Amino acid sequence: MKQLITTSLTASLFILLSGCATDAPVAPSQNSDLNKITNSNGKEKPGLIQKSLDSWLKNEWTLTVNKDKKVQKKYLKKADGSLSKDTNNSTEKIDNDTEVKYVEKEDRNFTLQEYIDKASAYMKVHPSDDKDSNVQKLESMPVIGK
């Protein structure tokens, strides 16, 4: 009886595995079924979170941080190439009504201190309030909080 079970299991396993081996191997880029599901050749579109982050960085973070005097002096240069001086805005008006714009210096590496300086400049202008804090919301919950 044991031989019959062993023989039948071996035969069924052999048939199953030999059926898988008869398909010709196809490179992933030429697999039409795979390309229907994930179009790796198509251009990837940014998602909702990425769009939201990009707009926040462009419209809020950069504008706020570039207005800080400390950040301008340490990390920015004027768009014409000269180094920045102490100013109040990321664009300063000169006597003949031309604006001077500040851009990032390109010949330096990003450091953690730069991020800390920029974050502190942003937090000066946009302080976080406790009523919208997630910590306050979690602590007010009866099971999680106090």
* pLDDT at site 41: 59
Query: Would 142 be classed as within a structural domain?
Result: no
If one counts the domains in the chain, the total is: 1
Residue 18 included in any domain: no
Is residue 8 assigned to a domain? no
pLDDT for 57: 92
What pLDDT score was predicted for residue 71?
86
> What pLDDT is stored for residue 127 in this prediction?
79
The secondary structure of the chain as a DSSP string is -HHHHHHHHHHHHHHHHHHHHTSPP--GGG-HHHHHH--TTSPPPP-HHHHHHHHHIIIIIHHHHHT-HHHHHHHEEETTSSBP-S-SSSEEE-TTS-EEEEEE-SSS---HHHHHHHHHHHHHHSPPPGGG-HHHHHHTSTTT--
Residues of the chain short of pLDDT 70, as ranges, are: 19-24, 26, 28, 39-43, 81-100, 130-131, 144-146
Mean pLDDT of the chain: 76
Is 141 domain-assigned? no
Residue 24 lies in a domain: no
